[in-house]
Amino acid sequence: MPNTPPWVEAALNERRQQSLLRQTVTLEGPQTPNATFANHQYKAFCSNDYLGLANHPELIRSLHESAHQYGVGGGSSHLVCGHLAPHQALEEALADWLGYERVMLFSTGYMANLGVISALAAKDRPVAQDKLNHASLLDGAVLAQAPLRRYLHGDVASAEKLLSKLATPGLLVTDGIFSMDGDLAPLAELSKLAARRDWLLMVDDAHGLGCVGEQGRGSLALENLDAESLPILVGTFGKAFGTSGAFAATSHAMADYLTQFARPYVYTTAMSPAIAGATLTALKLIQSAEGQARREKLAQHIAYFRHRLSQLPVKLMASNTAIQPIVIGESSTAIKVSDALKSLGIWCTAIRPPTVPVGSARLRITLSASHTDDDLVFLCDSLECVLTSLQ
């Protein structure tokens, strides 16, 4: 075995001492609320499978059919010979659903954000971002070596002040729904600001698409935005769609530009055509009466959860989405709370810095349409037991 450099051990020891060491756990079954870890059964409340489609029989059937017809691997990048019929069909269906001229598929949401921002930003084209944006959005600006400035979370006045100080227009970037807080960005106001200042607005709506808005069209539908007022929309399939991969929706001209300069698109093997086929089926479900019923069920769970937790000695964050964080504070305490819940049969991982700001370690409770009413009662009863014991 090779010797481990001392700086590696030092970094790991520092993480251990701060209760920040990350470790993987193995889920022994499909992505459902009934989770098995190390041969123990739990009710899981930390998955992003918001509509409960990850194990839907129609998606499984579609995956098999697409794999049988088109194989499993993409074989090459989209620009060589990896763009198959299921990719094209999915792009066209997404563009029609969202009202954009073009959609481009990416292998992951991280790569979509990295690719779009690194292609559009530059040393002379700055990037202004919300303080709580996802890491992939920040990393895109770093890859472009662009000036990166961050405004106060959800604060349009702070964003305008920031833009007024920058000499040249650039890219204004925000999450639609923030992954760790669950709140909605002020997209309509940011869109007006971007237009007024001649900046380009980009929104990552990973946690909104499928779950909110008319037909599940996400944050842009909630804020009455369209392709003109929101020029670049990024979405992912690993949340409400129940599959994997991502896309960027934009104009013909912008898509042509990204095809030339978005390196994670140009130099990466295309997503599996079987996954593309399953994702198209997920989109049809999201648009259907079943999809609407699932969104309504999810909304009922959110309302019940917030009502129950309002009676406990915790402060609820301003979220009306499937993401319901409970801020604990210290990382070590958050781990203790998470472990106490596990002992009662609830699986909810503690989220700690640097994913969230120092002093705001939390339980990131996520709800799904596939949870039952009894699951929600069990969750809230368990939280009441554990949280009241902290007082």
Instruction: Single out the catalytic residue among 47, 66, 136, 179.
Output: 179
Residue 355 labeled ligand binder: yes
Which residues make Cβ contacts (< 8 Å) with residue 176, sequence separation at least 6? 184, 185, 187, 203, 204, 205, 206, 207, 208, 209, 218, 219, 220
What is the CA 64 to chain-centroid distance, rounded? Answer: 26
Instruction: Single out the catalytic residue among 43, 78, 87, 239.
Output: 239
Q: How far apart are the first and last CA of the chain?
A: 48
φ, ψ for residue 184, nearest 5 deg? -95, 135
Cα 10–Cα 15–Cα 17 angle in degrees, nearest 5: 95
The answer to whether residues 115 and 103 touch, using CB atoms and an 8 Å cutoff, is no
Residue 109 labeled ligand binder: yes
Backbone φ/ψ region at 12: left (φ over 0), alpha (ψ -120 to 50), beta: alpha
User: Three-class SS of residue 160?
Assistant: helix
Residue 110 labeled ligand binder: yes
The answer to whether residues 86 and 70 touch, using CB atoms and an 8 Å cutoff, is yes
Instruction: Single out the catalytic residue among 56, 207, 297, 371.
Output: 207
Residue 134 labeled ligand binder: yes
Dist. CA 119–CA 248, nearest whole Å: 13
Amino acid identity, position 264: P
Respond yes or no: is residue 239 known to be catalytic: yes
Task: Write out the binding residues for substrate.
Answer: 22, 134, 355
* Active centre residues (catalytic): 179, 207, 239
Task: Write out the binding residues.
Answer: 22, 109-110, 134, 179, 207, 236, 355
Task: Write out the binding residues for pyridoxal 5'-phosphate.
Answer: 109-110, 179, 207, 236
